[in-house]
Structure 1
């Protein structure tokens, strides 16, 4: 069991050992779970994303980084960044592609998501609706505690479903802007925290992706999460559930662990033993439910600064490079 000195009014390890965490299951899926998501996926694939490439913002770590915008479901126009390989010969196609999700709060710049896991790669770094300056949408809260409750009264209006669609549409925009990636089987997904949970929900239904890497993914095992205090978006959902217990039925369709049981592509999950924002039992539930080949990297803590964290981040980077090298270089 991992323990750190902290001043939280609860135990961010929740009393779990690694052995116990590795046994936590996913909640059973509603009978129409797959149909619900496949219908949403089909709607997203039908969107004309009309991506627009903006000016060059910076060049570093082997890529040229441009602004990008694209259309998602509901006609919502979103922004983000596109990274294109800078160290290949002119006219040489990108060999790999990535869609990179972000944490709750959005992203203000590409930041540590660049450098990319593999050389000669292209990537889209979208800002999903409501999150960050380039993802702002009128009427959708831009703070995590409000965003995670937006539209939660119905599975058809819950914002998390549209955020998943934003990732599917980002993949479409990437393949339109970098057409050599279409049909190659060399598209990967990376997501951390909020982006990890969205990735687990998105990837089972999208055959364009060959592999996925999720770091401290959220939205895993909602029935258990509703019993665990935290300082992340889950606490807002817990509070809402206390007044509206009927929301449990909606959350069944947005459980990242339930979705992971449908995810047959190779996946690498980095899950934490101690995490005050995303309870570790939910993270491990996502990994434990994966239907395809899976790898687990256990990290001491998530959403928490600790001694030795830089080394652990470097080890995760190495594991990520090896993982995607194995599955995207085939």
Structure 2
């Protein structure tokens, strides 16, 4: 697939006008307050994985509305002191899988929480373990369109709240340095990490690649791939303007650029310039407006891969993430 979005020189300065409702902050303040009561942790049980250099716990925490959300929590075996933590969010249609699947951050010396995606896990990987009790809301079968016509019923209102509560959960687990918690994710996970950066002001860092839900209106005009394709297919059979405007209104409450504007934490971005699943203009819009409403100027950097699509920098980019976050630890 040849490059299809804006030229690189234009991407570097791409700062579209924000697409956010006047009550954006009130919406999220109220949503998070409704789910903040009580201890975030429900349980944490050690599991046998067959790995000798890693210890893992099967964690359940309270997410949106107090719903139980599953996660894997892992630490390097034998670590005696509290460790900085990385909360990782999985991609669209993926669940938490098996505990030995994602060990990069543990091997690098971090405590690691991998959050399950409620109501997902049936598209690839090794599945998920968190049902969504609210799947009866109007909409199509895919997560991207569940409750699409009502921001209060939308799937991503629940999933983003889960992602915020995952940070509270990891801070309640033993052996975690509560003051050094970072969020990381790719694709849908990148969109969730960016939302967390905008809603949790004291993150240590955020690492985002190929983020979903950034520059949503433009993405819907550019691509029919992935989750955006589910949205266009849903609206293609609901041809009245009311449905379209209701969908746009709902999506404005989960727009990643709006979360990015409110973020405080240092940020590391990655993007493939031939990405037709999450068009690069969305990542650049979020990057270029990152932190502008926070009252600080958080350090940020972005790495572009001109000949790559949704896979972006892949392992090369992970190597850059490891080095960057290690540098943040040393300077922080």
Q: TM-score, normalised by structure 2?
A: 0.84
- Residue aligning to 2:68: 77
Secondary structure at the counterpart of residue 189 of structure 1: strand
Matched, 1:106 2:101: no
Matched, 1:136 2:131: yes
* Structure 1 contact 99–190 (Cα < 8 Å) conserved: yes
* Structure 1 contact 47–169 (Cα < 8 Å) conserved: no
The CA distance in 2 between the partners of 1:44 and 1:209, in whole Å, is: 19
The CA distance in 2 between the partners of 1:212 and 1:60, in whole Å, is: 28
The CA distance in 2 between the partners of 1:61 and 1:289, in whole Å, is: 44
Q: Post-superposition shift, 1:195?
A: 0.8
* Structure 2 contact 224–232 (Cα < 8 Å) conserved: no
- Give 5+ residue unaligned stretches, structure 2: 122-127, 292-297
Q: 1:118 to 1:85 in 2, by over 3 A?
A: closer
- Residue aligning to 2:283: 283
Matched, 1:270 2:270: yes
Q: Post-superposition shift, 1:241?
A: 3.8
Aligned runs of 1:26-175 on 2, under 5 Å? 26-28=16-18, 29-58=20-49, 60=51, 62-88=53-79, 92-107=80-95, 108-110=97-99, 113-116=102-105, 119-132=108-121, 133-138=128-133, 140=135, 146-175=142-171
- Residue aligning to 1:178: 174
- Residue aligning to 2:309: 302
Q: 1:224 to 1:15 in 2, by over 3 A?
A: closer
Secondary structure at the counterpart of residue 142 of structure 2: helix
* Structure 2 contact 76–107 (Cα < 8 Å) conserved: no
* Structure 2 contact 35–66 (Cα < 8 Å) conserved: no
The CA distance in 2 between the partners of 1:193 and 1:162, in whole Å, is: 18
- Residue aligning to 1:253: 253
**RMSD value over aligned CA atoms?**
2.4
Q: Post-superposition shift, 1:245?
A: 1.1
Q: Post-superposition shift, 1:74?
A: 1.9
Q: 1:148 to 1:47 in 2, by over 3 A?
A: farther
- Residue aligning to 2:315: 314
Q: 1:17 to 1:229 in 2, by over 3 A?
A: same
Q: 1:68 to 1:200 in 2, by over 3 A?
A: same
Q: 1:113 to 1:295 in 2, by over 3 A?
A: farther
The CA distance in 2 between the partners of 1:150 and 1:201, in whole Å, is: 19
How many residues in Structure 1 have an aligned counterpart in Structure 2?
Answer: 307
* Structure 2 contact 5–279 (Cα < 8 Å) conserved: no
Matched, 1:24 2:11: no
- Give 5+ residue unaligned stretches, structure 1: 5-10
Q: Post-superposition shift, 1:231?
A: 1.6
* Structure 1 contact 118–324 (Cα < 8 Å) conserved: no
Secondary structure at the counterpart of residue 212 of structure 2: coil
Secondary structure at the counterpart of residue 268 of structure 2: strand
The CA distance in 2 between the partners of 1:222 and 1:114, in whole Å, is: 32
Q: Deviations over 1:44-103 (max 9, x none)?
A: 333432331223232659532232222212231121211122142xxx223201110000
